[in-house]
Structure 1
Amino acid sequence: MSRRAGMLGACAALLTHALVAQSIEEFPLRPVAESKDAPLTEQISYRQNSYDDRGFNRIVEKVAVPTVTVYRPARAAHRGAAIVLIPGGGYQFVVIDREGHQLARYFQQQGITAIVLKYRLPTGETPEGPTLPLPQQDALAAIQYARSHALEWGIDPKRVGVIGSSAGGHLAGSMAVLGDASAGSRPDFIGLLYPVVTFKAPHAHAGSRKNLIGASATPEKVREYSLETRAKAGMPPHFLVHARDDTVVPYQNSEMLAAALQQAGVPVELRLINTGKHGFALGRGEESSRWKDAFVQWLDKLP
């Protein structure tokens, strides 16, 4: 074999390895047998605005089978961190592209394994007893799923966190309350983008509250699902970003949670920006684009 042929062969082998190592795969969150009787009701709509980097802005409704789409990097970095990405949608639909797959591609390129959660949506009725709403069940299961595949995916099971956007931020934030370290469902860090936090007036996002716990939820249930009332010592560190010009979910949601976490002694970084409005995802203008680099730097500083 000539030297040139050998070099070409080596380059081809390296390219093949990179293509195999950097992968995108979707998996059902639970064994398919458990979902075989689920009605085939899922609906995907294409919105004609706010496109992502691939020209999409799809929303998913009537999710019957929750899934995780795993974006594995070609070369792992940041000490094997993995992030479960939880899109928003007011607990009415899932903003799967702009707050899911687009973020996943960014973190994949940073050497971080990113896992997009497509979760079931709530019924609108307040669960009784210990039963959790469907989105909360799926988010807990997604964190467990990631940890159970740590060896296969080359991630550190002690560096599995979540990032949630809007109502997905409420869902991600509730993992700090509901997650159980012994069961593998507690995240190690939490990032929240323009999150729904409180279900109390005057700063509540009424649609998220109605869709998750019902229009007739008791004051006790409203308090139970208001994240700022559940802050306690020992929760994972939080990173919050919110725009002051957000007219959908007021920035006071993030302020309230950050203050409650600080009072409880939980490490928290709050970044309030002047512009970006709601749903800026990776960024809508220079100021709202800075958070992602700041988040990665914050992540690297965590123990």
Structure 2
Amino acid sequence: MTSSLPPIAITMGDPSGVGAEVIVKALAERDAESRARFVVIGDRETLERALKVCGLSLALADFDGSPVADGIALVHVPVAGLPGRFSVLSPACGEASYQYIRRAVEMALKGEAAGIVTAPISKEALNAAGHHYDGHTGLLAALTQSASSWMLLASERLKVIHVSTHVALRDAIGRATTERVLATIRTGHAHLRRMGYERPRIAVAGMNPHCGENGLFGTEDDDALRPAVVAAKAEGIDVEGPISADTLYYRAYQGAFDLVIAQYHDQGHIPIKLVAFDSAVNVSLGLPIDRTSVDHGTAFDIAGTGKAKHVNMLAALAYAERLAASRSKATG
């Protein structure tokens, strides 16, 4: 990433969660020049409390479009009714989460931000505030008017993109259509190509035990998944499947594949959180803007204690920088 790029916007997430803490901890580990590549979108008072509980003395500087020489650049977004303390489930915090994201998306769409890194939000608080989305991915798709979006979880040795995420399992089965699986394969392939993989090796996880065992345990693998793999192969994509999920993730982790297509939320999340709980990055694909995120929640139980680990946030910041650099290279 070069200094000619606009900064990457970091949304603070739910003001009652650990977002503010992991942000200030992560930025504190960077030198002033590196820190100037980012601007935080959030609440000043919450960030000041986070700095205090984390024992940090960085200054918060109002962002005016220019890099901040030292300290943390901040776009303060006022929201009425914030509880003024951590660990509180509050509709006001849900409204604040929404407004931070909306502002960051607006900046990114205008070219005022090179991408977005999001701290965790509470889906319950977001919906209580009247914003009825399944989380960041759906909200970002709506704000950018994107027809489709995907969640990619990326770690060093295992990467997973999901056909569906925050839906009931019975609904996830219905969403695994040939068209959606094929679109997921294409999206994952394009992203890995952008990230430097010359010929990504992709594997499609089966839906049913043993991929249905020739119809004995269900026909979705043969009826929907296999045709998508055949179509992707015809396009020149290096893809295999469907492969029984009970062996696929081990093979991918050992290096046989660069990317796994997971059919539903837990099929993809459980393996990633087992092997890379602190370091996996959540990446939104299919949007006109770049977005990465930590792969953990608001952690209300430890918010305000200074105990929250910021390794995930460091990884999300680094991935966002790689995306910004690749976008700049492609357009420049």
TM-score norm. by structure 2 comes to: 0.32
Q: Which has the higher contact order (CA 8 A, sep 6+)?
A: 2
TM-score norm. by structure 1 comes to: 0.34
The structure with the greater share of residues assigned to helix is 2
